[in-house]
Amino acid sequence: MNIDAIIDQLGGASAVQALLGVGPSAVSNYRIRGAFPEYARVKIWQALKARGVQVDPETLELIGAVAEASSPQTTASTAASSTASSAASSGGVTAPSILLIISGGIAAYKALELIRRMKDKGWQVRVIMTKGGAQFVTPLSVSALSGEKTYTDLFSLTDEAEMGHIRLARDADLVVVAPATANIMARMAQGMSDDLATTAVLATGAPILIAPAMNPHMWANPATRANAETLKSRGMRIIGPDSGDTACGEEGAGRLVDPMAILSMAEQMLPGQTPLKNRRIVVTSGPTHEPIDGVRYIANRSSGKQGQAIAEVLARHGAEVTLISGPVDLPPPAGADVIRVTTAKEMLSATLNALPADAVICAAAVADWAVDGAGKAKLKKTPGQPPALTFVENPDILATISGHPQRPKLVVGFAAETETPVAHGDDKRRRKGCDWILANDVGAEAPVFGADDNQVHFITAKGAVTWPRMTKHAVAEHLATEMIKELTHG
Ligand code: PMT
Q: What is the pLDDT of residue 67?
A: 57
Please tell me the least confidently modeled range out of 9-18, 74-83, 338-347, 392-401.
Answer: 74-83
- pLDDT class for 1, splitting at 50, 70, 90? confident
Which residue minimizes the CA distance to atom 33 of ligand 1? 366
Statement: residue 85 has pLDDT above 60: no
Q: Mean pLDDT across the stretch 159-169? A: 72
248 is catalytic: yes
Q: Mean pLDDT across the stretch 365-394? A: 96
Q: Among 302, 346, 442, which is best to mutate for testing ligand 1, by the most ligand atoms less than 8 A from CB?
A: 302
**Contact partners, residue 236, CB within 8 Å, separation at least 6:** 188, 207, 208, 209, 210
Q: Among 398, 426, 437, which is best to mutate for testing ligand 1, by the most ligand atoms less than 8 A from CB?
A: 398
* Helix, strand, or coil (residue 453): strand
Q: What is the pLDDT of residue 46?
A: 77
Phi-psi region of 249 (alpha: psi -120 to 50; beta: other; left: phi over 0): left
* Distance in angstroms (rounded) separating the CA atoms of residues 413 and 139: 43
Which residue minimizes the CA distance to atom 24 of ligand 1? 415
Q: Among 362, 368, 435, 472, which is best to mutate for testing ligand 1, by the most ligand atoms less than 8 A from CB?
A: 362
Instruction: Encode pLDDT of 114-128 as tens digits.
Output: 999 999 888 999 999
* Distance in angstroms (rounded) separating the CA atoms of residues 139 and 133: 9
Q: Which atom of ligand 1 is nearest to the CA of 301?
A: 3
Which residue minimizes the CA distance to atom 36 of ligand 1? 396
Q: Which atom of ligand 1 is nearest to the CA of 285?
A: 1
Statement: residue 456 has pLDDT above 90: yes
Taking the centre of ligand 1 as the mean of its atom positions, its distance from the CA of residue 287, in whole angstroms, is 8
**Contact partners, residue 268, CB within 8 Å, separation at least 6:** 274, 316, 317
- What does the DSSP assignment read for 166-225? HHHHHT-SEEEEEEE-HHHHHHHHHT--SSHHHHHHHH--S-EEEEE---HHHHHSHHHH
Residue bearing the bigger pLDDT, 73 or 348? 348
Q: Which atom of ligand 1 is nearest to the CA of 440?
A: 13
Q: Mean pLDDT across the stretch 3-31? A: 79
Statement: residue 260 has pLDDT above 50: yes
Taking the centre of ligand 1 as the mean of its atom positions, its distance from the CA of residue 365, in whole angstroms, is 4
Statement: residue 72 has pLDDT above 90: no
Which residue minimizes the CA distance to atom 5 of ligand 1? 449
Give me the long-range contacts of 245-253 (CB less than 8 A, separation at least 24): 246/215, 246/216, 247/106, 247/107, 248/215, 250/215, 250/216, 250/217, 251/216, 252/216, 252/217, 252/219, 252/220, 253/216, 253/219, 253/220
Statement: residue 193 has pLDDT above 90: yes
Q: What is the mean pLDDT of the chain?
A: 87
* Distance in angstroms (rounded) separating the CA atoms of residues 299 and 43: 49
Residues with CB under 6 A from ligand 1: 284, 286, 302-307, 344, 362-366, 368, 394, 396-398, 413-416, 428, 440, 448-450, 472
Instruction: Encode pLDDT of 418-446 as tens digits.
Output: 999 999 999 999 999 999 999 998 988 88
DSSP state of 485: I
- Alpha carbon 325 to its chain's center: 21
Taking the centre of ligand 1 as the mean of its atom positions, its distance from the CA of residue 286, in whole angstroms, is 8
Q: Which atom of ligand 1 is nearest to the CA of 309?
A: 4
Taking the centre of ligand 1 as the mean of its atom positions, its distance from the CA of residue 363, in whole angstroms, is 5
Nearest to residue 123, comparing CAs of 276, 317, 266? Answer: 266
Instruction: Encode pLDDT of 395-409 as tens digits.
Output: 999 999 999 999 999
Please tell me the least confidently modeled range out of 129-133, 218-222, 264-268.
Answer: 264-268
Taking the centre of ligand 1 as the mean of its atom positions, its distance from the CA of residue 397, in whole angstroms, is 10
Q: Mean pLDDT across the stretch 451-470? A: 92
Q: Which domains does the chain have, with CATH numbers?
A: 3-90 (1.10.260.40), 97-269 (3.40.50.1950), 280-489 (3.40.50.10300)
Q: Mean pLDDT across the stretch 349-369? A: 98
Out of 65, 223, 226, 248, the active site residue is 248
Task: Tell me the pTM.
Answer: 0.60
Taking the centre of ligand 1 as the mean of its atom positions, its distance from the CA of residue 404, in whole angstroms, is 19
CB-CB contact of 484 with 281 (8 Å)? no
Q: What is the pLDDT of residue 83?
A: 27
CA angle (43 as vertex; 318, 28 as ends), nearest 5: 100
Taking the centre of ligand 1 as the mean of its atom positions, its distance from the CA of residue 346, in whole angstroms, is 16
Percent of the chain at pLDDT > 70 equals: 90
Statement: residue 92 has pLDDT above 50: no
